[in-house]
């Protein structure tokens, strides 16, 4: 039995995620081009993201048989074992024989033939236990936090801080949401074409569902949206719904000067450019040249050639001889609000890194506020759930930077009027302290935070 195309791709992507520190979603986008069958693309994606989401639980189950840490194995052997036990536990449609055999063949293909017998024996035992719930294997001495960490496959430190921050019910809901396949949300750039675009996507074999938050958003499934005419013509873009809300909070008006400080991949910039119109000035910066090039391609697809693009290290003083009416700082962050979409983050991130992000975000925000015109608005946002990157940044900047204050939540809500799905109250998108905040498990969206500043 030959190794399937899907398993070969999944194995190679997982290897590169570990060895290169790449994001699985980026690698899958590259590997699953038009030459790959839809069913192979679907299985490869399921295997890669499933193994990354459930890695801690998979390793726990494997280590019962191995009697040593999976991390001490050669990477190729560890990946083949994780792929095998994931299929046995989570993919009932895959025959156990195929899951075991192809995992053994993957090890041989990686020139680790000496480990083939081990992989075969461990996975055969795992197949016999696949019907037993994982909780039955947990030692009685484990703490409640450790149990949650193993069963929901998150690092214990992350579980601890979320329990303290959100309480048990919300934290468990967040853990569960992070292990579900997230909605693939899209932005519709012309609301008048909603029915036309929906019909076109359905004709291409996709499922289309309405947005949960925004009238201009919808979700798709059952196929590749990037292969559709609607995508290639620039009528739609792939973008999480909470991410779509953030640029709206700036309340950009036609003709205004707008700066997007950390703009890549450009989805938020596109919304700012449409609001500012051809009479406005929209500048989008990113410190990495390859990301600036990617934005140029994105804006060409969207017909937004008027956006000014530049390499910009925004930590330094902004290199402009003017101030901007509107500034968006969607800051680099830990990304803990995106673990459903980027599950590898949970295994790479260390709690001590949050202090480093805080320092970077402080520097960026102070730089941005220096470039804000009198009466202008800056929106600071992250896709993080952590206080160190969100409200603690905001509170510290308010203490250190004179002449700026927070935009009241009611004013931020006001710019969303007419843009939300019928029945959605804007107040549900803001917390008790007035910050914009979404939490996976409560919304079918990434976890985002945003606050608005105004210069007096």
Strand ranges (E), 178-245: 184-188, 207-210, 217-221, 236-238
Residues 159-186 pLDDT 10s: 999 999 999 999 999 999 999 999 999 9
pLDDT averaged over every residue in the chain: 95
For strands 324-330 and 308-311, give the pairing.
unpaired
**Integer CA distances (angstroms), 198 to 125, 182, 203, in order:** 47, 20, 9
Tell the residue number behind the tokens 């291409």, with chain if given: 204
**Which one is catalytic: 186, 262, 333, 383?**
383
B/e letters for 215-243, b = 16+ CB within 10 Å, e = fewer, are bbbbbbeebbbeebebbeebbbbebbbbb
Residues 69-94 pLDDT 10s: 999 999 999 999 999 999 999 998 99
Domain 241-455 class, CATH top level:
alpha beta
For strands 184-188 and 236-238, give the pairing.
antiparallel
Residues 358-377 pLDDT 10s: 999 999 999 999 999 999 99
Whether 205 and 222 have beta carbons less than 8 Å apart is answered as yes
- For 417: left if phi > 0, alpha if psi spans -120 to 50, otherwise beta; the answer is beta
Confidence of residue 401 (pLDDT cuts 50, 70, 90): very high
Does residue 33 carry a pLDDT above 90?
A: no
Q: Examine the residue annotation and report whether 333 is marked as an active-site residue of this protein.
A: no
Does residue 317 carry a pLDDT above 90?
A: no
pLDDT score recorded for residue 1: 58
Length, in residues, of the chain: 456
Does residue 34 carry a pLDDT above 90?
A: no
Q: Would you say the CATH fold of 241-455 matches that of 185-238?
A: no
Which pTM was predicted? 0.95
Higher pLDDT, residue 223 or 243: 243
The domain ranges of the chain are: 5-137, 142-179, 185-238, 241-455
> Domain 5-137 adopts which CATH fold?
N-utilizing Substance Protein B Homolog; Chain A (1.10.940)
Backbone phi, then psi, for 298, in 5-degree steps? -60, -45
Q: Which CATH architecture has domain 185-238?
A: 2-Layer Sandwich (3.30)
Question: CB 426: neighbour CB atoms within 10 A?
Answer: 19
Tell the residue number behind the tokens 């673990």, with chain if given: 339
Confidence of residue 390 (pLDDT cuts 50, 70, 90): very high
pLDDT score recorded for residue 35: 83
């Amino acid at each position: 039995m030959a190794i399937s195309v899907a398993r070969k791709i999944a194995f190679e992507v997982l290897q590169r995620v570990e060895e290169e520190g790449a994001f699985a979603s980026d690698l899958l986008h590259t590997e699953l081009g038009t030459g790959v069958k839809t069913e192979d693309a679907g299985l490869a994606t399921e295997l890669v993201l499933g193994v990354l989401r459930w890695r801690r639980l998979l390793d726990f189950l494997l280590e019962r048989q191995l009697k040593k840490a999976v991390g001490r194995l050669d990477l190729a052997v560890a990946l083949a074992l994780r792929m095998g036990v994931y299929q046995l536990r989570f993919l009932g449609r895959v025959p156990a024989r195929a899951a075991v055999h192809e995992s053994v063949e993957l090890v041989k293909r990686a020139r680790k033939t000496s480990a083939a017998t081990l992989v075969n024996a461990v996975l055969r035992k795992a197949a016999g236990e696949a019907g037993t719930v994982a909780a039955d294997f947990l030692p009685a001495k484990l703490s409640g936090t450790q149990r949650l960490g193993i069963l929901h496959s998150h690092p214990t430190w992350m579980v601890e801080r979320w329990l303290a921050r959100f309480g048990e019910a919300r934290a468990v809901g967040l853990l569960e949401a992070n292990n579900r396949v997230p909605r693939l949300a899209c932005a519709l750039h012309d609301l008048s074409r909603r029915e036309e675009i929906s019909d076109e996507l359905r004709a291409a074999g996709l499922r289309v569902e309405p947005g949960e938050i925004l009238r201009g958003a919808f979700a798709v499934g059952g196929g590749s949206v990037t292969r559709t005419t609607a995508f290639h013509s620039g009528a739609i873009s792939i973008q999480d719904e909470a991410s779509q809300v953030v640029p709206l909070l700036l309340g950009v008006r036609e003709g205004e000067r707008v700066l997007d400080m950390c703009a890549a991949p450009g989805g938020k910039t596109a919304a700012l450019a449409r609001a500012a119109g051809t009479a406005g000035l929209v500048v989008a910066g990113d410190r990495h040249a390859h990301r600036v090039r990617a934005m140029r391609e994105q804006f060409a697809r969207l017909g937004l050639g008027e956006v000014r693009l530049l390499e910009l290290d925004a930590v330094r003083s902004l290199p402009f001889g003017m101030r901007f009416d509107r500034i968006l700082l969607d800051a680099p962050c830990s990304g803990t609000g995106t673990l459903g979409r980027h599950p590898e983050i949970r295994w790479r991130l260390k709690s001590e890194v949050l202090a480093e992000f805080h320092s970077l975000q402080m520097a960026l925000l102070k730089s941005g506020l220096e470039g804000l015109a009198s009466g202008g608005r800056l929106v600071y946002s992250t896709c993080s759930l952590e206080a160190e990157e969100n409200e603690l940044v905001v509170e510290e900047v308010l203490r250190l930077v004179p002449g700026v204050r927070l935009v009241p939540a009611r004013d931020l809500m006001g710019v969303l009027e007419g843009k939300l799905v019928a029945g959605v109250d804007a107040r549900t998108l803001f917390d008790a302290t007035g910050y914009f905040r979404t939490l996976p498990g409560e919304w079918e969206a990434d976890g985002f935070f945003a606050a608005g500043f105004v210069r007096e």
